[in-house]
Each structure stands twice: as C-alpha cells, then as structure tokens.
Amino acid sequence: MTSRKLISAPSRRTVVKAAAVTAVVTPALVATAPAARAQSGVPQFLHGVASGDPLPDGVLLWTRVTPTPDALPGSGLGPDVTVGWELSEDRSFTLPVASGATVATAASDHTVKVDVRGLRPATSYWFRFTADGVVSAEGRTRTAPAVDAAAPGIRFGVVSCANWEAGWFSAYRHLAARTDLDAVLHLGDYVYEYGTGSYPAAKYTVRRHQPAHEIVSLADYRLRHATYKTDADLQALHAAHPVVAIWDDHEFANDAWSDGAENHTPGAEGAWADRVAAAKQAYFEWMPVRTSTEGTVYRRLRFGRLADLHLLDLRSFRSQQSGVGSGAVDDPERSLTGRAQLDWLKSGLAASDATWQLVGTSVMISPVAFGALPADLLGPLTELLGLPGEGIAINVDQWDGYTDDRKELLRHLTDRGIRNTVFLTGDIHMAWANDVPVKASTYPVSASAATEFVVTSVTSDNLDDLLHVAPGTVSVVASGAIRAANRHVKWVDMDHHGYGVLDVTAERSQMDYYTVSDRADRDATTAWTRSYRTLNGTQRVERVYQPVH
C-alpha cells in the first residue's frame, strides 16, 4: 500500500521507531466457511456469542446468525430469521431468568443485539441463542454492582491493538481462562483496516486479512469484523466475560480525525464522511456496545460506589493532527475531545461520589517529550520559536498534540479536588506506568493530578518487531532516554505483547502486566511481568512486587 500522508504527523509505526532515536477457521476459509458448514440450509452461529456494557440491572447480548450459505458477512444476502435468546442463572439452563426472540435481517448483517434488563446486580448469568432449532454456544456474563453498593472490589482485563495479520490472539485466550474478572475493557484497535501485507509487511504476516484489500465500504468493514470474530481465542474471550469497548483509529483508518485520516485518500477512496458512516455502522452491528444515536462511544458505566468508568471517543470530534515540533499543539482552538465531550467528562468527574474515577482513553494523556528545557527558559524560547510549550512531543496523535484540552482537564481535577483519577490507555503498543503531572517541566516538585496505566498490544508491532531485533536489543537505551526526559514515567516496556489486569479496591488501584511468549505461536504461554499501583489519595504510581492474583 502506498503511503498517503495528508499531514506531517508521523504514523504509529514511525512513532514507535522514534522511541529508539489462535484461530480455528483460517482466514482463507472465512468466506467459504458458511457454505461448508451450512449445506443443509439450516442457520449457523459461526461468529460466537458476546455480551457487553454491564449495568446493575442489565447487560447487552450479541450474536450473528448465518441463515443460509449465501448470507456471508457484508453480502447483503439472506432471509430474515427469528432468533431466540435465553438467560439463566446456571450453565445447564435449568434456572431460566429471561427469554425472548428477535429477527435478524440482512439490513443489520444478520447480527443480533438484545438489551436485557430486570437482572440482579453483581450476578453471573449464562446465555445462548437459537434459530430454527439450532443452538449457539453458551456464554457467561455478569452484571455490575448496585449503584450505591459498597463493592469490595472489581477486576478488569485490559487490552488493545489486536492486528490479525501480526499474530495470534493468545492474550485473549489467557484472559478467557480467568474466572475472576468482572469485565474486559478493550481500549481500541479491535480491528485493523489495512490491506493484506501492508502492516506488517507480507513476509512477516502470520495470517491474511479478509477482504484482502484495504477496507473502505460497509461490506468491507462488515467482513473484516466477521473475520476477526472467527478467531477461536476472541470467541472464547467474548463467551467468558462481558466486554466494554471503545474505538480508536484503526476501526476507521490510521490516524483518523474528524474530517479525514492519514490513511485515507479522498476521491480514490470516496468521501471520508461515507467511510466513517460505514465503519461506525459495522462497528455498532458487530460489537456488544449499546448503539448511540449520536454515533459515538463515549459513555459512562458505574460499578457501585467503588468506581465510575468514563469512556472516551477520541476520533470523532478531534481537530487535525499538527506536525511534530509545531507550536500548534498548544493552540486553544484545536481539540482532541471536542467541546461537548470534554464538558461531559468534566461534569461527570465533578459529580461522581465514587472512590475511583477510571477514564478509558484510547491515546496516552501523559506527556512524552524530548528536549525539555529548564522552566525559566522553556516559556520564552517556545514563544519566540513557535515550539510546543512542554518540549518536543514524539506523538502528536495523542494528548501531546492537543495540550490545551489536557491542561483544562488537569486543572479541573486539581481545582475541584478530584482525586483517584486513573487513566487506562492503549494505542502505542507498549506498556507504561505514569504519573500525570500538572506541569511536566517541574515534576516531581510540582503535583501529579492523576495516574495512568498503559497496556501493550495484543499483537500489533512494537519496537523489537519494527526493528526486527531481539527483545531488549535497543529498548534498554530507548526506555532510559524516555524516562530521563520524562521523570513522571515510572516504567515502560517496548518489546512485549500481552494484556493487563486492573484490580480496584477502596485502598488502591493496581495494574498487573502480563506478557505472552510469542505472538506468532498459536499456543503461546503467558507470564506476569510487573505490577504498579496507586494508593487512595496519592495521585502517584509505585511498583509492587507481586500480582494481585
């Protein structure tokens, strides 16, 4: 794929390089699997079952039915079919709680979403679907604690950045095997839009995308989502835990903003608005996320008085990215969140009575800059030279490219005395543990307004993958340089793939970081790597030397 840059901001791959200054149905069979498994013409459930967005009294259930062999994802073909659903307190479905039926049609790509209410808080349930006597696999889900409950603890799996072509989704398998999670938080890049052999290069591709070309149309996005949901490990994850998801750029196109993307060519690939509409429609059809009339994923979920979870959409409303080294990153007219979303976040944080404020943000909020000067020189020189006021950012696609939004949000936290705010982040294919300083140039003398835990990628390329070197070959030097220039960064791992497990109690929020042995190994093992926590009231992260569980 030819590089098509609309702006001078770096691509994700360039940013990661700058830091150094398991499937049952194979992709080739995705298109033919329905025909091979539905010769009799009876419906089939080929893409698993899922649940999401748990509430104290409800949860969203999802599946996709293939009613006839020709009703392939994205085809627009296939008859309407009645799909029954049932929810039970036991796996054998002898203790039924709720049931019903809906109709799957080609208009929604034969996906089914049922928003079940009237359930008991903090309770596990089993669910399944039926169509013409065919029964789906069963799934397990769980409701959130009651709104005013003093929940003793909650535990989330945390993942991001799962590129089908880059490896197997063994991280999902290991999370699916855990029985101690309340939900899994997916922070974006659930699917990737590239054509096959583009990222990574063809010689490093583990399995091929479907469709093979870069996805642009509604049919394309539908088939890409369907391809991912043939992965056995992803199906296992969805069947084991409710998933709370937000999108990032690759659900649309690389480095997307409100009116375009680095990886979009107007004309040759149609209008950006049409591409976004197609991507959003497919996303809401294929993901266990409540459909928003505003076409966004920012929303708020509550887990008793222990935590409010504020989920952000940092693609739909953002201004175009600036160039690296441009003082435009400080322009108050430019926004990452958009005015309405930032006001929504601020008011929700201020009104919350929960002990912890968890903020799901697809891109990193902690500043990461090189070339920072002493505070007494930085201000005058940046004004004279038109440079960023907090040093030269290496990734202007994240909050570093929109410093006025960040300043306003952090000022809100400090002025209102909002404590225990923890940002949960993906996007950059590395694991980090950070304080979020009010003023990076004077940290640690100045205050920290919040903390941030960043999880690495499930499979997407990180530093050693991009440079094709053994883990640790260059990252020791690179991570040392980052920490030396950014004293609020307590730890960064540039080399591994995996996931996080966030454990929250009244006393602390702790992220346990796990890595997988080899993304190219379908049977990869997992191991705990490190743990960091922030204690109630401190706004600082500290290392702990064993995982919670």
* Beta-carbon contacts of residue 299 (< 8 Å; ≥ 6 apart): 53, 290, 292, 311
Integer Cα distance of 367 and 288 in angstroms: 32
Measured at the alpha carbon of residue 494, what is the angle toward residues 493 and 498, in degrees to the nearest 5?
70
The phi, psi pair for 204, rounded to 5°, reads -105, 0
What pTM was estimated for this model as a whole?
A: 0.91
**95 lies in a domain?**
no
**45 lies in a domain?**
no
The phi, psi pair for 545, rounded to 5°, reads -110, 20
What CATH number is given to the structural domain containing 297?
A: 3.60.21.70
* Beta-carbon contacts of residue 215 (< 8 Å; ≥ 6 apart): 193, 221, 223, 224
Could you list the beta-strand ranges (E) of 377-525. Answer: 392-393, 421-425, 431-437, 448-454, 489-493, 498-504, 508-516
Cross-strand pairs, 189: none
Q: Which domain does 334 fall in, by range?
A: 12-30+144-544
**135 lies in a domain?**
no
What DSSP designation does 327 have?
G
pLDDT of residue 206: 97
**467 lies in a domain?**
yes
Tabulate helix, strand, coil % of the chain (nearest 5): 25, 30, 50
**321 lies in a domain?**
yes
pLDDT of residue 391: 63
Give the residue from 399, 360, 378, 337 showing the smallest Cα distance to 245: 360
Total domains, the chain: 1
- Residue 400 CB-density burial (10 A; 0-12 exposed, 13-18 middle, 19+ buried): buried
**94 lies in a domain?**
no
CB 283 within 8 A of CB 289: yes
Tokens of 381: 């020189």
Local confidence pLDDT in tens for the 549 residues of the chain? 333 332 333 344 434 433 333 222 223 323 333 334 445 579 999 999 999 999 999 999 999 999 999 999 999 999 999 999 999 999 999 999 999 999 999 999 999 999 999 999 999 999 999 999 999 999 999 999 999 999 999 999 999 999 999 999 999 999 999 999 999 999 999 999 999 999 999 999 999 999 999 999 999 999 999 999 999 999 999 999 999 999 999 999 999 999 999 999 999 999 999 999 999 999 999 999 998 778 999 999 999 999 999 999 999 999 999 987 788 898 999 999 999 999 999 999 999 999 999 999 999 999 988 654 444 444 543 344 344 556 667 789 999 999 999 999 999 999 999 999 999 999 999 999 999 999 988 899 889 999 999 999 999 999 888 888 888 787 888 888 888 889 999 999 999 999 999 999 999 999 999 999 999 999 999 999 999 999 999 999 999 999 998
Give the residue from 229, 248, 296, 237 showing the smallest Cα distance to 73: 229
Give the residue from 438, 461, 469, 459 showing the smallest Cα distance to 539: 438
**364 lies in a domain?**
yes
* HSE, side-chain direction, 13 A CA sphere, residue 287: 26
pLDDT of residue 324: 76
Cis before residue 547, ω within 30 degrees of 0?
no
Identity of residue 328 = A
Cross-strand pairs, 23: 231
**167 lies in a domain?**
yes
Q: Are strands 134-135 and 124-131 parallel, antiparallel or unpaired?
A: antiparallel
